[in-house]
Amino acid sequence: MNTPSLRETARAMVAPGKGILAMDESTPTCGKRLEAVGVENTEENRIAYRSLLLGTPGLGDYISGAILYDETLRQQSAEGVSFPQLLQQQGIMPGIKVDTGAKELALHAGEKVTEGLDGLRERLEEYRGFGARFCKWRAVITIGEFKPSIACLQANAHALARYAALCQEAGLVPIVEPEVLINGAHTLETSYDVTVETQRRVFDQLYRQDVDFAGMVLKPSMVISGTDCPQRAPMEEVAEQTLRCLQQTVPAAVPGIAFLSGGQGDEEATRHLNAMNLLARERALPWRLTFSFARALQNPALKIWQGEPANLDPARKALLARARLNALASSGEYNEALEQQVAA
């Protein structure tokens, strides 16, 4: 494990004014998104869409790294350039999702544990050969009646920690993603309690596995009301309670927090990120607060593109605009006037 190199990469992933593009959708998930805009789920169309995203001129001004799927890491653009090379040409670090998905947790209906540790050491070596600099593993925590269970929290925390240790052994920075799902009628207070408990267990397990906190990036959920909550908390309260949660759970050595958008609307996620950074200016917080968004970055481009070559440039313009707006939010410099200007 090259500790200085890992720490340097982790800091670069959360560099000021930049965030991470998550585009690690599996083939079926990517297919659902394509089909939603009338595009057939073929490899040719997946390549065309990924070429749209990764070939956007100027994307490296706002994006530090991109999380790819196994298929994407091995593909080439229509011009014959591998996707990792295409990223590197823009100064964007290639990353790779390495878990194999969340499966039902035995004896705990409605809860899941993420799998993929078997053979991971060997896969990490292969991914390094393709140019990957960092990895991602997502755990899924559901809020509901008698959920989450201690068994679910502990199983996922342990898996995240073992994954992170293997990544650092291979010289790759782990993105640790314990996602507390937004689905449900739970209140902001419940979201806070569950997120605190989840992250405490995760960092306890990371410590036990000797993971270097300075050589990782945390990708957490924001503390937010459930989508079906009758009285959803306002933006300022989301920002306040999310920062409070981080202060209760995240070691100061961690260089940065790259939030997931987790089912929020495109603008909603950006505004929450900006509100957190405005509050962070007033406090001596030790971490960079940035983004690792998927749909909240990709959606506008996908809706414009719709598989039509003539729509390529407008779609790329839309992606670049959302990347810029979120980069501004990661420094507390976003405002709604800018949003309206971009929409116009």
C-alpha pair distances (Å), 2 with each of 72, 167, 208, 217: 27, 11, 19, 16
Identify the pLDDT of residue 344.
55
* CATH number for position 199: 3.20.20.70
Q: Which entry of 18, 97, 147, 219 is annotated as an active-site residue?
A: 219
How much is the average pLDDT of 115-131?
97
Q: How confident is the model at residue 2 (pLDDT cuts 50, 70, 90)?
A: confident
Respond yes or no on whether the N-terminal peptide bond of residue 174 is cis (omega within 30° of 0): no
Contact 88, 95 (CB under 8 A): no
How much is the average pLDDT of 93-103?
97
User: Is pLDDT at 339 greater than 90 in this prediction?
Assistant: no
The residue segments making up the domain with residue 154 are 3-343
Contact 113, 103 (CB under 8 A): yes
Q: Which entry of 25, 111, 177, 179 is annotated as an active-site residue?
A: 177
CA dihedral for 27, 31, 32, 34, sign (positive or negative): positive
Q: How confident is the model at residue 4 (pLDDT cuts 50, 70, 90)?
A: confident
Q: Which amino acid is at 245?
A: C
Count of domains observed in the chain: 1
Has 303 been annotated as catalytic? no
User: Is pLDDT at 318 greater than 60 in this prediction?
Assistant: yes
Contact 52, 315 (CB under 8 A): yes
Give the tens place of pLDDT for each residue, 264-301: 888 999 999 999 999 998 888 999 999 999 999 999 99
User: Is pLDDT at 100 greater than 80 in this prediction?
Assistant: yes
Has 219 been annotated as catalytic? yes
Burial 212-241 (b: 16+ CB within 10 A, else e): bbbbbbbbbbbbbbbeebeeebeeeebbbb
How much is the average pLDDT of 193-215?
98
CA distance linking residue 148 with residue 55, whole number of Å? 41
User: Is pLDDT at 343 greater than 60 in this prediction?
Assistant: no
